[in-house]
């Protein structure tokens, strides 16, 4: 295992769920963490364990706005002088069948999950090339198999996987590690933003039917991938609740 002490991370989607747990876990491992999201009041609730000198600073970030992404990366490098790890995690899941969909939901998912995460990777890449750093992409088990009702969300995560693999091939020989983490059902507020009331109720029932993962379970996977020796890249991790079949 390599130490993360004193190294610098940018975590997107850090105002709740997986991103919040990742930010706190990385700070607990001694990293200087820049935690970004749109809801700054939620970011303010993050607390860093100071045990190993870790620190969290927050930045207002909308990944659908390319300039906001560039500003967050610039703020990170100005504040801490380098960028070693990016956890590209911001996402929305506004699922529902195609026939009855509000296409505004599709737009938000594509803008956030797909294009937004591409903007983040693009803006961070020069710095990761400099530090021979690590990019961790939050995909999903929906990026492995689509099912009725989640076509567009799955399409964004299939897209994330395609982008991730292409980028890995482009930069791995230059020492940048590109990692994909695909969680199954995690107990976060993700499904609570579904706009169709019927689907919202179904999603809540589905999540209640299994022993879901906790955000910390995914943060542990991020820590595992990030602390491997430089010559080891954990390319892909899929983590499902034991009770989750598909």
Nearest-approach distance from CB 30 to ligand NDP, in angstroms: 23
Of 1, 103, 189, 229, the one binding ligand NDP (CB under 6 A) is 189
| Shorter beta-carbon distance to ligand NDP: residue 111 or 131 | 111
The size of the interface with ligand NDP (CB under 6 A), counted in residues, is: 31
With CA atoms as reference, report the closest residue to 26 among 224, 238, 228, 240: 224
Q: Is 52 known to be catalytic?
A: no
Contacting ligand NDP (CB under 6 A), which of 89, 137, 164, 180? 89
Contact with ligand NDP (CB under 6 A) among 6, 42, 49, 223: 42
Looking at residues 193 to 222 of the shown chain, list those that interact with ligand NDP (rule: CB under 6 A): none
CA–CA separation, 152 and 48 (whole Å): 35
Q: Is 4 in the site for ligand NDP (CB under 6 A)?
A: no
In the complex with ligand NDP, which residue's Cβ is closer, 77 or 115?
115
Does 94 participate in binding ligand NDP (rule CB under 6 A)? no
Q: Does 30 bind ligand NDP (CB under 6 A)?
A: no
Using CB under 6 A as the binding rule, whether residue 164 contacts ligand NDP is answered as no
Q: Which is nearer to ligand NDP, 26 or 81 (CB)?
A: 26
Structure tokens at 22: 């990742």
Tokens standing for residue 222: 């991020």
Report whether 222 contacts 200 (CB < 8 A): no
Site map 121..150 versus ligand NDP, x via CB under 6 A: -----------------x-x----------
Among 7, 9, 11, 15, binds ligand NDP (CB under 6 A): 15
- CB neighbour list of residue 135: distance below 8 Å, 6 or more residues apart: 85, 86, 88, 121, 124, 125, 128, 167, 176, 177, 178, 179
Any idea how long the chain is? 246
Q: Does residue 46 interact with ligand NDP by CB under 6 A?
A: no
Tell me the closest approach of the beta carbon of residue 229 to ligand NDP, in angstroms.
Answer: 27
DSSP secondary structure string, 178-245?
EEEEEE--BSSSGGGG-SSHHHHHHHHHHHHTS-PBPHHHHHHHHHHHHTS-TT----EEEE--TT--
Q: In the bound complex, what is the minimum distance in angstroms from residue 10's beta carbon to ligand NDP?
A: 12
Residue 167 binds ligand NDP, judged by CB under 6 A: no
* Chain Cα centroid distance, residue 12: 6
Cβ(184)–Cβ(141) under 8 Å?
A: yes
Contact 12, 37 (CB under 8 A): yes
Q: Which two tokens stand for residue 234?
A: 């954990």
Judged by the rule CB under 6 A, the positions of this chain that interact with ligand NDP are 12-19, 37-39, 42, 61-64, 89-93, 112, 116, 138, 140, 183, 185-186, 188-190
> Mind telling me the catalytic residues?
153
């Amino acid at each position: 295992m390599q130490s993360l002490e004193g190294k610098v991370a940018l975590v997107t989607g850090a105002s709740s769920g997986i991103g919040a747990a990742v930010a706190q876990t990385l700070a607990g491992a001694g990293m200087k963490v820049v935690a970004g999201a749109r809801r700054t009041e939620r970011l303010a609730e993050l607390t860093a364990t100071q045990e190993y000198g870790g620190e969290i600073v927050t930045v207002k970030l909308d990944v659908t706005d390319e300039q906001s992404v560039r500003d967050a990366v610039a703020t990170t490098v100005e504040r801490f002088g380098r960028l070693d790890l990016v956890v590209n995690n911001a996402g929305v899941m506004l699922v529902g069948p195609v026939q009855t969909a509000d296409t505004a939901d599709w737009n938000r998912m594509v803008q956030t999950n797909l294009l937004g995460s591409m903007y983040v990777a693009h803006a961070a890449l020069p710095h990761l090339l400099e530090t021979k750093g690590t990019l961790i992409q939050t995909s999903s088990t929906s990026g492995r198999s689509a099912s009725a009702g989640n076509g567009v969300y799955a399409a964004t995560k299939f897209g994330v996987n395609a982008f991730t693999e292409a980028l890995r091939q482009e930069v791995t020989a230059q020492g940048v590690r590109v990692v994909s983490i695909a969680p199954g059902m995690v107990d976060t507020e993700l499904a609570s933003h579904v706009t169709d009331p019927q689907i919202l109720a179904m999603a809540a029932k589905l999540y209640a039917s299994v022993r879901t993962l906790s955000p910390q379970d995914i943060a542990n996977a991020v820590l595992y991938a990030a602390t491997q020796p430089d010559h080891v890249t954990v390319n892909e991790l899929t983590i499902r609740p034991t009770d989750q079949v598909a």
